[in-house]
Amino acid sequence: MNDTVSFGLEDVSPEEKTSRVGAVFSSVAKRYDIMNDAMSGGMHRLWKDRFVRRLKPREGEEILDMAGGTGDIAFRLADRGAIVTVSDINQDMLDVGLERAVKRGLDGLVWSRQDAEVLTFGDKSFDAYTIAFGIRNVGHVDRALSEAFRVLRRGGRFFCLEFSTTEWPGFKEAYDVYSDKVIPKLGSAIAGDEASYRYLVESIRRFPKMHEFEALIRTAGFTNTKVEPILGGAVAIHSGWKV
Ligand SMILES: C[S@@+](CC[C@H](N)C(=O)[O-])C[C@H]1O[C@@H](n2cnc3c(N)ncnc32)[C@H](O)[C@@H]1O
Protein backbone atom coordinates (compact mmCIF):
# COMPACT_ATOMS: atom_id res chain seq x y z
CA MET A 1 0.00 0.00 0.00
CA ASN A 2 1.39 3.45 -0.91
CA ASP A 3 -0.58 5.66 1.41
CA THR A 4 -1.05 4.04 4.79
CA VAL A 5 -1.76 5.48 8.21
CA SER A 6 -1.89 3.87 11.63
CA PHE A 7 -5.01 2.38 13.07
CA GLY A 8 -3.82 1.28 16.47
CA LEU A 9 -1.01 -1.17 15.76
CA GLU A 10 -2.08 -1.77 12.16
CA ASP A 11 -1.22 0.16 8.99
CA VAL A 12 -4.32 0.74 6.90
CA SER A 13 -5.48 3.06 4.12
CA PRO A 14 -6.75 6.47 5.34
CA GLU A 15 -10.26 5.53 4.13
CA GLU A 16 -10.22 2.31 6.16
CA LYS A 17 -8.99 4.24 9.21
CA THR A 18 -11.88 6.71 8.89
CA SER A 19 -14.39 3.89 8.70
CA ARG A 20 -12.90 1.92 11.61
CA VAL A 21 -12.57 5.04 13.79
CA GLY A 22 -16.24 5.68 12.96
CA ALA A 23 -17.15 2.22 14.24
CA VAL A 24 -15.14 2.80 17.44
CA PHE A 25 -16.96 6.02 18.33
CA SER A 26 -20.39 4.77 17.29
CA SER A 27 -19.84 1.80 19.57
CA VAL A 28 -18.77 3.83 22.60
CA ALA A 29 -20.83 7.05 22.11
CA LYS A 30 -23.40 6.35 24.83
CA ARG A 31 -20.80 5.37 27.43
CA TYR A 32 -18.11 7.80 26.23
CA ASP A 33 -18.47 10.37 29.02
CA ILE A 34 -18.60 7.81 31.83
CA MET A 35 -15.53 6.09 30.39
CA ASN A 36 -13.57 9.35 30.32
CA ASP A 37 -14.22 9.84 34.03
CA ALA A 38 -13.38 6.22 34.81
CA MET A 39 -10.14 6.12 32.80
CA SER A 40 -8.76 9.43 33.98
CA GLY A 41 -10.18 9.48 37.52
CA GLY A 42 -12.03 12.65 36.47
CA MET A 43 -8.76 14.37 35.46
CA HIS A 44 -9.90 14.94 31.87
CA ARG A 45 -12.21 17.64 33.27
CA LEU A 46 -9.22 19.53 34.69
CA TRP A 47 -7.25 19.17 31.44
CA LYS A 48 -10.23 20.51 29.49
CA ASP A 49 -10.65 23.41 31.94
CA ARG A 50 -6.98 24.26 31.57
CA PHE A 51 -7.19 24.00 27.76
CA VAL A 52 -10.09 26.46 27.61
CA ARG A 53 -8.33 28.83 30.05
CA ARG A 54 -5.27 28.86 27.79
CA LEU A 55 -7.41 29.66 24.75
CA LYS A 56 -9.00 32.64 26.59
CA PRO A 57 -12.27 32.66 24.67
CA ARG A 58 -13.88 36.08 24.45
CA GLU A 59 -17.54 37.04 24.44
CA GLY A 60 -18.93 36.87 20.88
CA GLU A 61 -15.92 35.15 19.30
CA GLU A 62 -16.73 32.52 16.71
CA ILE A 63 -15.07 29.24 17.59
CA LEU A 64 -15.07 25.94 15.77
CA ASP A 65 -14.75 22.95 18.11
CA MET A 66 -13.65 20.19 15.75
CA ALA A 67 -14.02 16.52 16.66
CA GLY A 68 -16.18 18.00 19.38
CA GLY A 69 -17.92 14.70 20.12
CA THR A 70 -20.27 14.96 23.08
CA GLY A 71 -19.59 18.65 23.63
CA ASP A 72 -17.23 18.89 26.63
CA ILE A 73 -15.08 21.65 25.11
CA ALA A 74 -17.97 23.38 23.34
CA PHE A 75 -19.96 23.73 26.59
CA ARG A 76 -16.97 25.33 28.32
CA LEU A 77 -16.51 27.76 25.40
CA ALA A 78 -20.21 28.64 25.34
CA ASP A 79 -20.17 29.26 29.11
CA ARG A 80 -17.61 32.00 28.40
CA GLY A 81 -19.82 33.69 25.83
CA ALA A 82 -18.27 32.34 22.61
CA ILE A 83 -20.43 31.52 19.59
CA VAL A 84 -19.64 27.87 19.08
CA THR A 85 -19.94 25.47 16.17
CA VAL A 86 -19.42 21.87 17.24
CA SER A 87 -18.31 19.57 14.45
CA ASP A 88 -17.60 15.89 14.36
CA ILE A 89 -17.58 13.21 11.71
CA ASN A 90 -19.68 10.90 13.85
CA GLN A 91 -23.41 11.56 14.16
CA ASP A 92 -23.78 9.20 17.16
CA MET A 93 -21.31 11.31 19.16
CA LEU A 94 -23.03 14.55 18.08
CA ASP A 95 -26.43 13.11 19.07
CA VAL A 96 -25.20 12.44 22.61
CA GLY A 97 -23.77 15.98 22.66
CA LEU A 98 -27.07 17.49 21.52
CA GLU A 99 -28.96 15.62 24.23
CA ARG A 100 -26.50 16.91 26.85
CA ALA A 101 -26.83 20.47 25.52
CA VAL A 102 -30.63 20.30 25.81
CA LYS A 103 -30.31 19.08 29.44
CA ARG A 104 -28.04 22.05 30.18
CA GLY A 105 -30.37 24.52 28.50
CA LEU A 106 -27.65 25.43 25.98
CA ASP A 107 -29.50 26.11 22.77
CA GLY A 108 -27.14 28.53 21.03
CA LEU A 109 -24.66 25.99 19.69
CA VAL A 110 -24.47 25.00 16.04
CA TRP A 111 -23.99 21.23 15.52
CA SER A 112 -22.54 20.32 12.16
CA ARG A 113 -21.36 16.95 10.93
CA GLN A 114 -18.01 17.46 9.26
CA ASP A 115 -14.85 15.59 8.35
CA ALA A 116 -11.88 17.56 9.75
CA GLU A 117 -9.99 16.83 6.52
CA VAL A 118 -12.54 18.48 4.20
CA LEU A 119 -14.55 21.17 5.93
CA THR A 120 -17.50 22.76 4.17
CA PHE A 121 -16.96 26.11 5.96
CA GLY A 122 -15.67 29.05 3.93
CA ASP A 123 -12.20 30.54 4.27
CA LYS A 124 -11.63 32.80 7.30
CA SER A 125 -14.88 31.84 9.08
CA PHE A 126 -13.66 31.50 12.69
CA ASP A 127 -11.61 33.32 15.33
CA ALA A 128 -10.38 30.11 16.94
CA TYR A 129 -10.27 26.39 16.20
CA THR A 130 -10.15 23.82 18.99
CA ILE A 131 -9.64 20.09 18.75
CA ALA A 132 -9.49 17.94 21.88
CA PHE A 133 -8.48 14.29 21.76
CA GLY A 134 -9.52 14.29 18.11
CA ILE A 135 -6.54 14.85 15.84
CA ARG A 136 -4.93 11.44 16.37
CA ASN A 137 -8.09 9.81 15.04
CA VAL A 138 -7.95 11.65 11.72
CA GLY A 139 -6.63 9.84 8.61
CA HIS A 140 -4.49 12.66 7.18
CA VAL A 141 -3.37 14.89 10.04
CA ASP A 142 -1.71 17.32 7.59
CA ARG A 143 -4.99 17.85 5.71
CA ALA A 144 -6.87 18.52 8.95
CA LEU A 145 -4.24 21.07 9.99
CA SER A 146 -4.36 22.88 6.67
CA GLU A 147 -8.17 22.98 6.82
CA ALA A 148 -7.88 24.47 10.33
CA PHE A 149 -5.57 27.13 8.90
CA ARG A 150 -7.92 27.86 6.00
CA VAL A 151 -11.07 28.38 8.06
CA LEU A 152 -9.34 30.68 10.58
CA ARG A 153 -9.30 34.45 10.21
CA ARG A 154 -6.01 36.36 10.38
CA GLY A 155 -5.11 36.58 14.06
CA GLY A 156 -6.98 33.32 14.64
CA ARG A 157 -5.65 30.70 17.00
CA PHE A 158 -5.38 26.95 16.81
CA PHE A 159 -5.54 24.96 20.05
CA CYS A 160 -5.17 21.22 20.31
CA LEU A 161 -5.46 19.04 23.42
CA GLU A 162 -4.15 15.53 22.84
CA PHE A 163 -2.54 12.57 24.52
CA SER A 164 1.17 12.41 23.92
CA THR A 165 4.18 10.69 25.46
CA THR A 166 5.18 11.34 29.04
CA GLU A 167 8.85 11.98 29.55
CA TRP A 168 8.78 11.49 33.33
CA PRO A 169 10.83 8.41 34.20
CA GLY A 170 9.00 6.11 36.62
CA PHE A 171 5.61 7.58 35.74
CA LYS A 172 6.08 6.43 32.13
CA GLU A 173 6.41 2.77 33.18
CA ALA A 174 3.38 2.94 35.49
CA TYR A 175 1.38 4.70 32.76
CA ASP A 176 2.30 1.99 30.24
CA VAL A 177 1.15 -0.78 32.57
CA TYR A 178 -2.07 1.12 33.31
CA SER A 179 -2.69 1.65 29.57
CA ASP A 180 -2.09 -1.99 28.66
CA LYS A 181 -3.73 -3.74 31.59
CA VAL A 182 -6.37 -1.46 33.03
CA ILE A 183 -7.87 0.69 30.23
CA PRO A 184 -8.99 -2.22 27.98
CA LYS A 185 -10.56 -3.94 31.02
CA LEU A 186 -12.41 -0.75 31.97
CA GLY A 187 -13.56 -0.52 28.34
CA SER A 188 -14.91 -4.01 28.56
CA ALA A 189 -16.60 -3.55 31.95
CA ILE A 190 -18.10 -0.10 31.38
CA ALA A 191 -18.56 0.31 27.64
CA GLY A 192 -18.80 -3.42 26.78
CA ASP A 193 -16.05 -2.84 24.23
CA GLU A 194 -12.47 -3.85 25.00
CA ALA A 195 -11.24 -3.57 21.39
CA SER A 196 -12.13 0.12 21.06
CA TYR A 197 -10.18 0.97 24.18
CA ARG A 198 -7.20 -1.08 22.95
CA TYR A 199 -7.36 1.09 19.84
CA LEU A 200 -7.30 4.17 22.08
CA VAL A 201 -4.10 3.02 23.83
CA GLU A 202 -2.40 2.03 20.59
CA SER A 203 -3.40 5.21 18.77
CA ILE A 204 -1.80 7.28 21.53
CA ARG A 205 1.48 5.37 21.20
CA ARG A 206 1.63 5.88 17.45
CA PHE A 207 0.81 9.58 17.47
CA PRO A 208 3.86 11.85 16.78
CA LYS A 209 5.81 13.04 19.82
CA MET A 210 5.12 16.55 21.13
CA HIS A 211 7.80 18.39 19.14
CA GLU A 212 7.16 16.41 15.97
CA PHE A 213 3.50 17.38 16.15
CA GLU A 214 4.44 21.00 16.80
CA ALA A 215 6.51 20.88 13.58
CA LEU A 216 3.45 19.64 11.66
CA ILE A 217 1.46 22.59 12.98
CA ARG A 218 4.15 24.96 11.73
CA THR A 219 4.21 23.23 8.35
CA ALA A 220 0.48 23.95 8.04
CA GLY A 221 1.32 27.67 8.25
CA PHE A 222 0.86 28.49 11.93
CA THR A 223 3.40 30.65 13.75
CA ASN A 224 4.28 31.30 17.40
CA THR A 225 3.60 27.64 18.06
CA LYS A 226 3.84 26.37 21.60
CA VAL A 227 3.49 23.11 23.44
CA GLU A 228 2.52 22.79 27.08
CA PRO A 229 3.05 19.33 28.55
CA ILE A 230 0.72 18.07 31.27
CA LEU A 231 1.88 15.14 33.44
CA GLY A 232 5.27 15.26 31.73
CA GLY A 233 3.62 15.10 28.31
CA ALA A 234 1.08 12.30 28.86
CA VAL A 235 -1.28 15.01 27.67
CA ALA A 236 -0.23 18.16 25.79
CA ILE A 237 -1.71 21.47 24.70
CA HIS A 238 -0.39 22.61 21.33
CA SER A 239 -1.18 26.05 20.01
CA GLY A 240 -0.36 28.27 17.06
CA TRP A 241 -1.47 31.50 15.39
CA LYS A 242 -2.53 32.40 11.89
CA VAL A 243 -0.95 35.79 11.26
C1 LIG B 1 -11.89 11.00 21.80
S2 LIG B 1 -13.23 11.81 21.01
C3 LIG B 1 -13.05 13.48 21.59
C4 LIG B 1 -14.37 14.18 21.82
C5 LIG B 1 -14.30 15.53 22.52
N6 LIG B 1 -13.50 16.50 21.77
C7 LIG B 1 -13.74 15.39 23.91
O8 LIG B 1 -12.68 15.94 24.19
O9 LIG B 1 -14.38 14.73 24.73
C10 LIG B 1 -12.63 11.90 19.36
C11 LIG B 1 -13.64 12.41 18.36
O12 LIG B 1 -13.00 12.61 17.10
C13 LIG B 1 -13.99 12.37 16.11
N14 LIG B 1 -13.33 12.21 14.80
C15 LIG B 1 -12.56 11.19 14.37
N16 LIG B 1 -12.16 11.40 13.11
C17 LIG B 1 -12.67 12.60 12.72
C18 LIG B 1 -12.62 13.36 11.52
N19 LIG B 1 -11.94 12.94 10.46
N20 LIG B 1 -13.27 14.53 11.49
C21 LIG B 1 -13.98 14.98 12.55
N22 LIG B 1 -14.08 14.29 13.71
C23 LIG B 1 -13.43 13.12 13.80
C24 LIG B 1 -14.67 11.12 16.62
O25 LIG B 1 -15.88 10.89 15.97
C26 LIG B 1 -14.80 11.44 18.10
O27 LIG B 1 -16.01 12.06 18.40
Pick the residue whose CA is nearest to atom 9 on ligand 1. 72
Q: How confident is the model at residue 243 (pLDDT cuts 50, 70, 90)?
A: very high
Backbone angles phi, psi at 11, to 5 degrees: -105, 125
Give yes or no for a contact between 60 and 89, defined as CB atoms under 8 angstroms apart. Answer: no
Is the pLDDT assigned to residue 10 strictly greater than 60?
A: yes
Q: Mean pLDDT across the chain, nearest whole number?
A: 95
Confidence (pTM): 0.96
Write the pLDDT tens digit of every residue in 31-89.
Answer: 999 999 999 999 999 999 999 999 999 999 999 999 999 999 999 999 999 999 999 99
Residue 8 alpha carbon to ligand 1 centre in Å: 15
Q: How confident is the model at residue 9 (pLDDT cuts 50, 70, 90)?
A: confident
Q: Which residue of 88, 91, 129, 136 sits with most ligand 1 atoms within 8 Å of its CB, as the best mutation to test the pocket?
A: 88
Q: How confident is the model at residue 223 (pLDDT cuts 50, 70, 90)?
A: very high
Categorise residue 112: left if φ over 0, alpha if ψ from -120 to 50, beta otherwise.
beta
Q: Which helix (H) or strand (E) holds 15?
A: helix 14-28
Q: Would you identify the CATH topology of the domain 5-241?
A: Rossmann fold (3.40.50)
Pick the residue whose CA is nearest to atom 15 on ligand 1. 137
Is the pLDDT assigned to residue 2 strictly greater than 80?
A: no
The set of protein residues with a Cβ atom below 6 angstroms from ligand 1 is: 21, 25, 67-69, 72-73, 88-90, 93, 115-117, 132-134, 137-138
Write the pLDDT tens digit of every residue in 75-98.
Answer: 999 999 999 999 999 999 999 999
Residue 197 alpha carbon to ligand 1 centre in Å: 14
Backbone angles phi, psi at 8, to 5 degrees: 60, -125
pLDDT at 1: 46
Is the pLDDT assigned to residue 150 strictly greater than 70?
A: yes
pLDDT at 3: 85
Is the pLDDT assigned to residue 233 strictly greater than 50?
A: yes
> Across the chain, where does the E strand assignment appear?
5-7, 10-12, 62-66, 83-88, 110-113, 126-132, 152-163, 223-230, 235-241
